[in-house]
């Protein structure tokens, strides 16, 4: 049995379709229900649906053997897992965005609203710029509009949301996309199953 | 070491005592002496070598205001105590204290292990790895012992990556098995290809060594020879099924060199054994001789016992219409690896197996 942690939402659905196409389908998953664990003993797979930012936690602690997670989350949480494949889906960038026309006068610490505090700290430490982190969990774009922060560090896919809120990208920190990760111990004992799945995903990618 | 199903915490403690005795008896039988050390040490001993420890040291002032540390590590303590050129074989069973960098939590970690300091190269590696494999065998259940050679990576990248940032990315790619990140590394194409080989080495030790030989231009022969020698020793001792050549377990390059290894147990998410040659650490403390050793982390095993599901067998092997001889050979292979196995034609409800696998998956 191989346990797969899938992120709830669009990315998870898209990866599940790929897995189903290469023989890891689980009919229960396709029904309209609120279950979070799905199993197909015959195919030897179990799916666990979790919050996208928690996927790597499940995998690192061995509650799932493999998982699908964005590189942005891996960079932020630095889990001790194998990162076996770049699936080239869910492509986006972690960026600094500011209100259109904003200039950093460097006269005070820059207030940065973000759900990526570690990534933001490391980015500004590299530029020797003092910052104040304002940790948020959602609607990050709101922060500069209401004066909560000067800039934001967030993922940007098309930039439409930023534009609609009067913000623009001022710096691109790093590119991100979905990665296929595995628990280091599971990999030693279920290597054949994990590699078969990896090969299937690679062929589909 | 056999365990009854449904262990309680008390039984775990008893089991831990039995394993501790079995391990220390094993090390004594190879002539290792018991090493004891103080729990409290001056902090300055550790402040210069913060990178060696992956966690933070727990500190407190003593009555005279001197900053003290709760012992965070055993190896460093042994390295400091040994005389230059002294040959020393010691084992220990101690608790170490660390503060996790991410969660800031204080942790007390049980470590049992050994250090082989001095001696010629060759035999210390063979003996230490053999004892590491025997230690995992003592604990009981299926295990994997992953072995790498840090000298191979150092030789391969020498002269191509003086930039520490690039070296960090090279090591990350190897440790995390990230083949897709290699294309962005500013290294020559032939080095990139060699790194790709390292990141995607096959599972069986013999196949992995053959793959390393194919990429060898002559400069890598000594570290590959060394790997082949130690894997040969372990195969002869009957651990052929459990050993892997795997570079993802590379240690910190500032302190470790040469053979480096880690042990995993099925059902335990993190490595339960970690070790390697640490001549660089010895030299940093002004000791000219080399050293090699390992530690077993029994605490990691506690969770497996606590969360171990009630199962009828470790593996339910679904065989379909495969020939009898193939089924028998698969069952034999799995039982030799330490699993309990039930073979059946198709998966059925009502049988609690640790995991279900198909016959084709045993082929590797």
Cβ-Cβ contacts under 8 Å between A and B: the total is 72
Q: Which residues of A touch B244 (CB under 8 A)?
A: 188
Query: Which residues are CB-neighbours of A97 under 8 A, at least 6 positions away?
Result: A141, A151, A152, A153, A154, A156, A162, A167, A168, A169, A170
Instruction: Give the residue-averaged pLDDT of B168-183.
Output: 91
Cα dihedral across residues A66, A68, A72, A76: positive or negative: negative
ipTM of the complex: 0.87
Chain B positions in Cβ-Cβ contact with residue A1 (cut-off 8 Å): 353, 355-357
Q: How far is CA A116 from CA A138, B111, B273, B355, in A?
A: 11, 35, 33, 37
Residue A44 is nearest to which of B244, B356, B362, comparing CB atoms? Answer: B356
CB contact under 8 A, A193 and B357: yes
Closest partner residue to B142 among A44, A60, A189, by Cβ? A189
Q: Do B177 and A191 touch (CB under 8 A)?
A: no
Q: Do B355 and A44 touch (CB under 8 A)?
A: yes
Position B66 scores a pLDDT of 92
- ∠ CA A23-A29-A30, rounded to 5°: 90
* A196 contacts B361? CB cut-off 8 A: yes
Under the phi-then-psi rule, with left for phi > 0, alpha for psi from -120 to 50, and beta for the rest, what region is B85?
A: left
Of residues B364, B128, B91, the one with CA closest to residue B229: B128
With beta carbons under 8 A apart, name residues in chain B contacting A42.
Answer: 318, 346-347
**CB within 8 Å: B318 and A42:** yes
pLDDT tens sequence across B250-277:
888 888 899 999 999 998 999 999 999 9
| Residue B59 to residue A157: CA distance in whole angstroms | 46
Chain A CA closest to residue B143: A189
Flag if A85 and B180 touch (Cβ within 8 Å): yes
Give the residue carrying structure tokens 């001056």. Answer: B42
- Residue B2: band (very low, low, confident or very high) from pLDDT cuts 50, 70, 90: very low
- Provide the pLDDT for residue B107: 87
> Residues A3-27: pLDDT tens digits?
999 999 889 999 999 999 998 988 8
Tokens standing for residue B128: 């230490």
The pLDDT assigned to B32 comes to 97
Nearest beta carbon to residue A191 from set B203, B268, B353: B203
d(CA B166, CA A80): 20
The token pair that represents B247 in the structure block: 């570079």
Both tokens of A65, joined, read 């053997």
Q: How far apart are CA B71 and CA A51, in angstroms?
A: 38
Chain A residues touching chain B at CB-CB below 8 Å? 1, 41-42, 44, 60-62, 80-86, 183-193, 196
Closest approach of B347 to chain A, Cα-based (Å): 6
In 3D, which of A184, A66, A195, A196 has the Cα closest to residue B146? A184
Contact B264 A188 (CB under 8 A): yes
Check whether B71 has a pLDDT greater than 70.
yes
Gap from B89 CA to chain A (nearest CA, Å): 30
Q: Are B56 and B99 in contact (CB under 8 A)?
A: yes
Q: Taking CB atoms and an 8 Å cutoff, what residues of chain B touch A185?
A: 264-271
In tens, the pLDDT along B30-51 reads: 999 999 888 898 888 787 777 7
Mean pLDDT, residues B209-222: 94
| pLDDT > 70 fraction of chain B, expressed in percent and rounded | 93
A190 CB neighbours in chain B (<8 A) are 355
Contact B85, B127 (CB under 8 A): no
* Closest in A60, A188, A192 to B144, CB measured: A188
What pLDDT, on the 0 to 100 scale, is given for residue B125?
A: 95
CA nearest to B1, candidates B143, B111, B127, B147:
B143
CB of B269 within 8 Å of any CB in chain A?
Answer: yes
C-alpha pair distances (Å), A99 with each of A138, A141, A143, B350: 18, 9, 10, 61
Phi and psi based region of residue A68 (left: phi greater than 0; alpha: psi -120 to 50; beta: remaining):
beta
């Amino acid at each position: 049995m191989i346990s797969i942690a899938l992120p709830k939402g669009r990315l998870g659905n898209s990866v599940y379709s790929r897995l189903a196409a290469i023989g890891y389908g689980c009919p229960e998953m396709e029904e309209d229900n609120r279950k979070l664990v799905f199993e197909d003993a015959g195919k030897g797979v179990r799916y666990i649906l979790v919050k996208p930012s928690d996927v790597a936690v499940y995998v690192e602690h061995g509650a799932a053997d493999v998982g699908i997670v964005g590189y942005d989350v891996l960079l932020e949480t630095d889990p001790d897992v194998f990162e076996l494949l770049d699936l080239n889906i869910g492509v986006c960038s972690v960026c600094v965005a500011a209100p259109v026309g904003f200039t950093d006068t460097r006269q005070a610490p820059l207030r940065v609203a973000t759900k990526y505090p570690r990534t933001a700290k490391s980015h500004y430490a590299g530029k020797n710029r003092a910052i104040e982190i304002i940790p948020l969990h959602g609607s990050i774009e709101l922060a500069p509009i209401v004066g909560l922060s000067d800039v934001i560090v967030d993922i940007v896919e098309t930039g439409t949301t930023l534009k609609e809120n009067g913000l623009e990208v001022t710096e691109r920190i790093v590119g991100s996309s979905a990665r296929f990760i595995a628990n280091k111990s599971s990999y030693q004992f279920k290597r054949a199953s994990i590699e078969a799945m990896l090969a299937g995903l690679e062929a589909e990618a | 070491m056999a365990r009854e199903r449904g262990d309680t915490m008390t039984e775990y403690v008893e089991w831990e005592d039995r394993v501790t005795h079995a391990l220390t008896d094993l090390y004594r039988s190879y002539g290792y002496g018991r090493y004891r050390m103080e729990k409290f040490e001056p902090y300055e001993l550790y402040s210069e070598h913060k990178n060696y420890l992956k966690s933070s040291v727990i500190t407190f002032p003593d009555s005279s205001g001197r900053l003290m540390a709760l012992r965070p590590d055993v190896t460093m303590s042994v390295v400091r105590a040994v005389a230059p050129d002294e040959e020393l074989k010691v084992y220990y069973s101690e608790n170490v204290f660390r503060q996790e960098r991410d969660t800031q939590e204080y942790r007390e970690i049980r470590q049992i292990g050994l250090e082989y300091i001095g001696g010629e190269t060759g035999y210390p590696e063979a003996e230490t790895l053999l004892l590491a494999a025997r230690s995992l065998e003592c604990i009981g259940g299926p295990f994997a012992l992953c072995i790498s050679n840090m000298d191979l990576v150092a030789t391969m990248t020498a002269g191509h990556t003086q930039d520490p940032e690039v070296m960090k990315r090279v090591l990350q790619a190897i440790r995390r098995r990230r083949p897709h990140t290699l294309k962005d590394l500013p290294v020559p194409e032939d080095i990139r290809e060699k790194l790709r080989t390292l990141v995607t080495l096959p599972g069986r030790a013999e196949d992995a060594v053959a793959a390393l030989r194919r990429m060898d231009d002559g400069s890598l022969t000594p570290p590959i020879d060394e790997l082949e020698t130690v894997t040969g020793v372990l195969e002869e001792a009957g651990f052929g099924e459990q050993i892997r050549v795997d570079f993802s377990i590379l240690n910190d390059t500032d302190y470790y060199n040469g053979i480096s290894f880690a042990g995993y147990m099925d059902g335990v998410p993190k490595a339960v054994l970690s070790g390697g040659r640490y001549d660089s650490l010895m030299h940093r403390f002004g000791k000219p001789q080399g050293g090699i050793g390992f530690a077993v982390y029994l605490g990691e095993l506690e969770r497996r016992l606590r969360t171990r599901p009630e199962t009828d067998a470790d593996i339910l092997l679904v065989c379909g219409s495969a020939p009898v001889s193939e089924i028998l050979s698969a069952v034999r292979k799995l039982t030799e690896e330490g699993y309990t196995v039930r073979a059946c034609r198709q998966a059925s409800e009502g049988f609690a197996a640790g995991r279900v696998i198909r016959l084709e998956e045993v082929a590797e």
